[in-house]
Amino acid sequence: MSDTQLRIGIIGINGRGRISRFFHQPDGRAIVAGAADLNQQFLEDFKGYCNPDAFTTNDYKELIHRDDIDAILVTTPDWLHEDQVVDCLNAGKPVYCEKPMALTIDGCDRMMEASINNNAKLMIGFNMRYYKFVLAIKELVDAGEIGDIKAVWIRHFVGMGSRYYYHDWHGVKRCTRSLLLQKGSHDIDVMHYITGSYTKRVAAFGGLDHFGGDKPNDLKCPDCPDKATCPDVNLVEEDKKPDRKYCAYRKEIDIEDNMVCMFELENGIKATYNECHFSPDYQRNFTFIGTKGRIENNELENKVYLWKRGEGNAMKPDRVIDLAADEGDRLAETGHGGSDQGIADAFISMVLDGKEPPVPMQAGRMSVAAGMLAQESLEQGGVVKEVPPLPHFVGV
């Protein structure tokens, strides 16, 4: 297939679906040739910013059964991934599925089974694997700079947490199940990826400590009498997110905004993961401590620090890797600091060159499993939960 131009279809075109622009390469190896979305206006917009000649439909099943569509991107909300991906795989099409892979472990296993039964590859949208600081840490770890990793501490300060997660469907458990899946699955995957080990057991505490409340479910920020003083007001006009205006303090909000998790990985590594959605700043901070040293990133400074045991000065890092020079806008225009182009190219190469997926479905399943059981643990007051290993049919 390597001489042909891949023809991609996409389901769920607005919001994250705008990643289509990284897959659409008319002079390159792939084009986005079709799109399905329930919203007709989004489909019209898509033709404007991506491909005016694309086939469009409101029914994703019509898209996935077309002979002129070779592969599918599933970028719909979380609760739709499982059924839509299984349908695509049963139609024999390789799939890129956004994170989290599904809302249940059984759902993930069903998707993996469909992939294997239909010999159709499934890749998960963990674009963080292409973040520059993640690549830099991975390189140092793989080069043995910190020896064998024994501890991982991760802190995720989700500044703008209300804007991203509490003004629309993300704030409601029936849609999202847990922000440890919706948001945390990225971080858990990075932990698994860097350490080369999946989570074995987990315990967690958490709560809805700030958002939610007694405001009406249909209250929108532009109509709110408190809009001049509310710290979480969202008055930004966004084509991508026209519905992201509902009050962050409305009654239906039930998803935790403050989580503290402990993980033990299969190879004995002890890890902590903290996620808070009312932090004023937006950054992720990872540290990996090994037998020979420690690595830590600082996202605001765009730097990675390396300390080596028994060398140099304990008060100063032995090496500082400055990523700032080529980082660009890490949040938006360049597509998460260039990582969206990285993951799009990897998917195209996976399909056209027959390579193994760079972010395999097993990784998607194990990050959902770890996040899901952390969620169950926190709902039961911190009970320790064992993570079910990958099912035998994936051949591990």
Ligand X SMILES: NC(=O)c1ccc[n+]([C@@H]2O[C@H](COP(=O)([O-])OP(=O)(O)OC[C@H]3O[C@@H](n4cnc5c(N)ncnc54)[C@H](O)[C@@H]3O)[C@@H](O)[C@H]2O)c1
Interacting span for ligand X (CB under 6 A) from 37-45, 230-238, 310-318, 374-382: 37-45
Q: Where are the beta strands (DSSP E) in 267-343?
A: 270-276, 282-290, 293-298, 303-308, 319-322
Nearer to ligand X, 81 or 294 (CB): 81
**Which of 102, 76, 73 is CA-nearest to residue 15?**
76
Q: Which residues of 140-161 are buried (b: 16+ CB within 10 A; e: fewer)?
A: bbeeebbeebbebbbbbbbeeb
Interacting span for ligand X (CB under 6 A) from 48-56, 72-80, 277-285, 316-324: 72-80
Q: Which residues of 189-222 are buried (b: 16+ CB within 10 A; e: fewer)?
A: bbbbbbbebbbbbbbbebebebbbeebeeebbbe
- Close Cβ partners of 98 (under 8 Å, ≥ 6 residues apart): 16, 74, 75, 76, 81, 124, 125
Residue 182 contacts ligand X per CB under 6 A: yes
| Cis peptide, bond prior to residue 388, ω within 30 of zero | no
Residue 127 contacts ligand X per CB under 6 A: yes
The residue number with the shortest CB distance to ligand X is 15
Residue 241 contacts ligand X per CB under 6 A: yes
User: Given candidates 23, 24, 31, 42, which one binds ligand X under the rule CB under 6 A?
Assistant: 42
Residue 77 contacts ligand X per CB under 6 A: yes
User: Given candidates 57, 80, 266, 308, which one binds ligand X under the rule CB under 6 A?
Assistant: 80
Nearer to ligand X, 75 or 197 (CB): 75
Backbone angles phi, psi at 113, to 5 degrees: -65, -40
Nearer to ligand X, 101 or 224 (CB): 101
Residue 275 contacts ligand X per CB under 6 A: no
Residue 184 contacts ligand X per CB under 6 A: no
* Least distance in angstroms from the C-beta of 77 to ligand X: 5
**Which of 242, 241, 237, 245 is CA-nearest to residue 220?**
245
Nearer to ligand X, 12 or 206 (CB): 12
Residue 75 contacts ligand X per CB under 6 A: yes
How many residues at the interface with ligand X, by CB under 6 A?
25
Residue numbers at the binding site for ligand X (CB under 6 A): 11-17, 36-39, 42, 60, 75-78, 80, 98-99, 125, 127, 182, 241, 336
